[in-house]
């Protein structure tokens, strides 16, 4: 079994991944800074099932504090691989706070890479994003598409910059890297600012659901456990190979239009949605659509969960959390689709 560092371990995807890795017998060091983007208690609940696991250790730290802070915080024991999920998330907020996103995501990733170089850790799984494709017109999105003028939000630009940094460290320092572009991950523990989470709240409160644009924008919704399965397969690939530098899509290859998503959520909740149409939000893209053939061939990746089944699992989880699950007020901010 391997010894693995997971950054962003208390988040939505990170907590699911830690549970899977620990169940497989891996030793996991988790790192998170409890960014105040949403309530700390939500992240603490995410970790509740594994925080005291004998193979798990937790370290609270901001990556942009630097390689020395990382060296001080993390034990000197052997680490075989790093899964880098930590990031300041969200397209809309990045439009309002671009510098904060570049500092957290790009500088934080650079500090992590430098610490890895100094520690001699040679394998990295990087979480990137479908947002790097922007409004690329050719569909589905392939990993070899030129993207230098594609990004239309600071969040997207920060993720593409992180990919460029990993290539630099691969080229100069022989770091083995798998960059994975996630496509609108949803499911239990989803961030409270994301569309599905907020739409369920609004439906239950009898409030209209905001539709930005005409409702034909589409996202390649991917259930969290399918994404985590892809990460696990990527970890196995990295551990079993040398001289790796690859970029893959971890999506579902089935774009769903916004109005169809809302209809599916309404069926799961048992309520008829009311809609309130608004102009498109700055930085939002029209469609995301993953070509996952490379991940299929390289990793054997094959998402299994239909949107309807995944939404039902999310609603069931939300029911279990209520009323103890802290949430944002239903009308606090626009829902983020990415």
The pLDDT tens digits of the residues spanning 109-153 come to 999 999 999 999 999 999 999 999 999 999 999 999 999 899 999
Going by C-alpha positions, the residue among 337, 34, 308 that lies closest to residue 198 is 337
Predicted local distance difference test score (pLDDT) of residue 332: 38
CA atoms within 13 A on the CB side of 61: 23
Structural domain total, the chain: 1
Q: Structure pTM?
A: 0.93
Residue 69 lies in a domain: yes
Residue 84 lies in a domain: yes
Angle between helices 12-23 and 224-240 (to 10 degrees): 60
8 A C-beta contact, residue 191 and residue 89: yes
8 A C-beta contact, residue 27 and residue 78: no
Predicted local distance difference test score (pLDDT) of residue 115: 96
Residue 110 lies in a domain: yes
Q: Annotate 145-173 with b (16+ C-beta within 10 A) or e (fewer).
A: eebeebbbbbbbbbbbbbbebbeebbeee
Catalytic residue numbers read 155
Going by C-alpha positions, the residue among 16, 8, 7 that lies closest to residue 188 is 16
- Percent of the chain at pLDDT > 90 equals 86
The tens-digit pLDDT sequence of the chain (338 residues) is 999 999 999 999 999 999 999 999 999 999 999 998 889 999 999 999 999 999 999 999 999 888 889 988 887 778 999 999 999 999 999 999 999 999 999 999 999 999 999 999 999 999 999 999 999 999 999 999 999 899 999 999 999 999 999 999 999 999 999 999 999 999 999 999 899 999 999 999 999 999 999 999 999 999 999 999 999 999 999 999 999 999 999 999 999 999 999 999 999 999 999 999 999 988 889 999 999 999 999 999 999 999 999 999 999 999 998 653 433 333 334 444 43
- How many angstroms separate the CA atoms of 331 and 304, rounded? 33
Residue 117 lies in a domain: yes
181 forms bridges with which residues in the sheet? 128, 249
8 A C-beta contact, residue 7 and residue 86: yes
The secondary element (H helix, E strand) that includes residue 294 is helix 293-299
Instruction: Check which CATH number belongs to the domain holding 54 and give it.
Output: 3.40.50.720
Residue 144 lies in a domain: yes
Going by C-alpha positions, the residue among 170, 172, 166, 299 that lies closest to residue 233 is 299
DSSP-assigned letters across all residues of 214-272: SS--EE--EEHHHHHHHHHHHHHHHHH-SS-EEEEEES-S--EEHHHHHHHHHHHHT-P
Predicted local distance difference test score (pLDDT) of residue 65: 87
Predicted local distance difference test score (pLDDT) of residue 335: 44
For residue range 41-54, what is the model confidence (pLDDT) as tens digits?
999 999 999 999 99
Q: How many CB atoms lie within 10 A of CB 17?
A: 28
Residue 155 lies in a domain: yes
Would you call 123 helix, strand, or coil by DSSP? strand
Q: Annotate 20-34 with b (16+ C-beta within 10 A) or e (fewer).
A: bbbeeebbbbbbbbb
Residue 29 lies in a domain: yes
- Domain containing 174: what range? 3-183+224-250
């Amino acid at each position: 079994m391997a010894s693995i560092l997971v950054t962003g371990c208390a988040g939505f995807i990170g907590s699911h991944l830690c549970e899977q890795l620990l169940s497989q017998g891996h030793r996991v060091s988790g790192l998170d800074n409890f960014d105040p983007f949403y309530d700390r208690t939500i992240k603490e609940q995410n970790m509740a099932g594994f925080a005291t696991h004998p193979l798990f250790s937790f370290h609270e730290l901001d990556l942009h504090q630097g390689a020395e802070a990382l060296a001080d915080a993390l034990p000197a024991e052997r680490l075989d691989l790093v899964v880098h999920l930590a990031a300041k998330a969200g397209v809309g907020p990045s439009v309002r706070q671009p510098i904060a996103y570049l500092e957290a995501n790009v500088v934080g990733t650079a500090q992590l890479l430098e610490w890895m170089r100094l520690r001699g850790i040679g394998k990295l799984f990087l979480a990137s994003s479908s947002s790097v494709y922007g409004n690329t017109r050719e569909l589905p999105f392939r990993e070899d598409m030129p993207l230098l003028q594609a990004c239309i939000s600071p969040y997207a630009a920060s993720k593409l910059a992180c990919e460029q940094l990993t290539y630099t460290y691969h080229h100069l320092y022989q770091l083995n890297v798998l960059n994975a572009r996630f496509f609108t991950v949803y499911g239990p523990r989803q961030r409270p600012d994301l569309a599905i989470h907020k739409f369920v709240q609004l439906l239950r409160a009898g409030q209209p659901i905001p539709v930005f644009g005409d409702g034909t924008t589409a996202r390649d919704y991917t259930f969290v456990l399918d994404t985590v399965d892809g990460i696990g397969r990527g970890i196995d690939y990295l551990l079993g190979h040398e001289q790796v530098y690859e970029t893959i899509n971890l999506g579902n290859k089935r774009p769903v239009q916004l109005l169809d998503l809302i209809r599916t959520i309404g069926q799961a909740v048992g309520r008829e949605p009311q809609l309130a149409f608004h102009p498109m939000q700055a930085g939002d893209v029209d469609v995301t659509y993953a070509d996952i053939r490379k991940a299929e061939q390289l990793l054997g990746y094959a998402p299994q969960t239909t949107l309807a089944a995944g939404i039902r699992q999310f609603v069931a989880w939300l029911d279990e959390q209520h009323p103890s699950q802290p949430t944002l007020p239903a009308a606090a901010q626009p829902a983020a689709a990415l």
